[in-house]
Amino acid sequence: MKPSRVGWLFVAPALVAIAVFFVVPVAAALVMSATDFDIYALADLRNVRLVGLANYLQLLQRPLFWRALANTMFFVVIGVPLSIAVSLGAALLLHSRLARFRGFYRTALFAPVVTTLAAVAVVWVFLLHGRYGLVNYGLAWLGLRPVDWLGDPRWAMPAIVLLSVWKNFGYNMIILLAGLQAIPGDLYEAARLDGAGPGALFRHITVPALAPILLMVSILTMAGHFQVFAEPYVMTQGGPAERTVTVLYLMYEDGFKWWSLGSASAVAFVLFLFMLAFSLLQARLGRAAGSP
């Protein structure tokens, strides 16, 4: 057999699967977002009509869409930096030569990453319980007032950020730790001989060396945060006062509760555009900061 044909035969099954179950659906979603596909169309496809950009224009006029966008942006803008800061802090601790039992701590801090999000969200619902929750018990122990985490519109999203940081920081911690371990030790030695303190070492050696990894990690983390869904679905069902309705939650409700699949497709594409725009923006900012 010709070598070229062998190569194609090896990659063909995967390419066909990706084409049929990914590429075609993406294209179909784009078309669907320009139709009024709803529960009647679900019963009989002849009820579908092309409506152009009507779904998108309608979204712009829906207060719930803007609410969902604002909630998601809150989750991204607060959650991503917080999550990366915790990851970096944990990675620095694990990297410290003074640390004991590093292997154990690495595993312990990473454990939440492999747990099932929907299940630990159920656990956190009770940890965050207004009266019997251990989070509030801890706050009381510190002399702070209890918070009605999932019942108070102001606190529900911060509560979800809290769960998300706990669940995810271990992932970036491992990547940043690998980055820290790749920095040559003599760099630090040389700087120390020149009289640099720990703060200066961190600012002038650690941060610049980690910068490319930090940029990549923040782009990936941001993409993940834009896709927040299971937490509000399990913990708050979008409430209280719609303060935890996220863009994907809106897509799920539009599409699979009300069967407005056309409108849901439009929501999905808006999310896609937002993710794309923010990734490009961040990559550009990162590159600008990296090349003075």
Partner 1 sequence: MRRPLAFLGVNVALALAALLTLFPLAWMVSASLMAPGEASTYPPPMLPRAATLANYRLLFAEHGILRQAANSLLISLLATGLSLTFNLCAGYGFAKLRFAGRERVFRLLLGALVVPAQVTMMPLFLMLKGMGLVNSYAGALVPWLASVFGIYLVRQYTLTIPDELLEAARMDGAGELRIFALVVLPLLKPIVVTLAVLSFLGSWNDFMWPLIVLTDHDVQTLPVALAALSREHVQDVELMMAGAVITVLPVLLLFLVLQRYYMQGLLVGGVKG
Q: Which of residues 206-225 bind partner 1 (CB under 8 A)?
A: 213, 216-217, 220, 223
Residue in 64, 8, 155, 101 with CA at minimum distance from that of residue 93: 101
Instruction: Dig out the tokens for 279 from the structure.
Output: 């990734």
Instruction: For the CB of residue 286, give the shortest distance to partner 1 in the complex, in Å.
Output: 15
Site for partner 1 contains 28 (CB under 8 A): yes
Closer residue to partner 1 (CB): 118 or 292: 118
Token look-up 């923010």 returns 278
Cβ-contact 113, 167 below 8 angstroms: yes
Query: Should residue 79 be labelled a site residue for partner 1 when binding is judged by CB under 8 A?
Result: no
For residue 122, state whether it binds partner 1 (rule: CB under 8 A). yes
DSSP 8-state code for residue 50? B
Count CA atoms within 13 Å of residue 183 on its CB side.
Answer: 22
Evaluate whether 121 touches 100 at the Cβ level (below 8 Å). no
CB of 279 to partner 1, least distance (A): 7
Q: Which of 119, 92, 117 is nearest to 106 (CA)?
A: 92
Decide if 163 contacts 120 (C-beta within 8 A): yes
Nearer to partner 1 (CB atom), residue 68 or residue 264 = 264
Number of residues that bind partner 1 (CB under 8 A): 94
| Residue 275 interacting with partner 1 (CB under 8 A) | yes
- Tell me if 99 contacts partner 1 by CB under 8 A: yes
Per rule CB under 8 A, is residue 144 in the interface with partner 1?
A: no
Q: What's CA 166's distance to the chain center, in Å?
A: 13
Span of 57-65, 149-157, 187-195, 272-280 interacting with partner 1 by CB under 8 A: 272-280
The reply on whether position 39 binds partner 1 by CB under 8 A is: no
* First-last CA distance in the chain: 54
Is residue 3 close enough to count as binding partner 1 by CB under 8 A? yes
Taking the mean position of all CA atoms in its chain, how far away is CA 273?
15
Query: What is the smallest separation between the CB atom of 78 and partner 1, expressed in angstroms?
Result: 19
Instruction: Please give the structure tokens belonging to residue 57.
Output: 């224009």
Closer residue to partner 1 in complex, CB, 76/251:
251
**Of 114 and 292, which has the nearer Cβ to partner 1?**
114
Q: How far is the CB of 92 from partner 1 (least distance, A)?
A: 9
137, 187, 188, 201: which one binds partner 1 (CB under 8 A): 137
Residue 6 touching partner 1 (CB under 8 A): yes
| By CB under 8 A, residue 233 contacts partner 1 | yes
Of the candidates 147, 144, 117, the residue with the CA atom closest to the CA atom of residue 131:
147
Does the footprint of partner 1 cover residue 21 (CB under 8 A)?
A: yes
Residue identified by tokens 């977002």 is 33
Contact call for residue 279 and partner 1 (CB under 8 A): yes
Q: Is 70 in the site for partner 1 (CB under 8 A)?
A: no
Question: Tokens 């509030």 belong to which residue?
Answer: 136
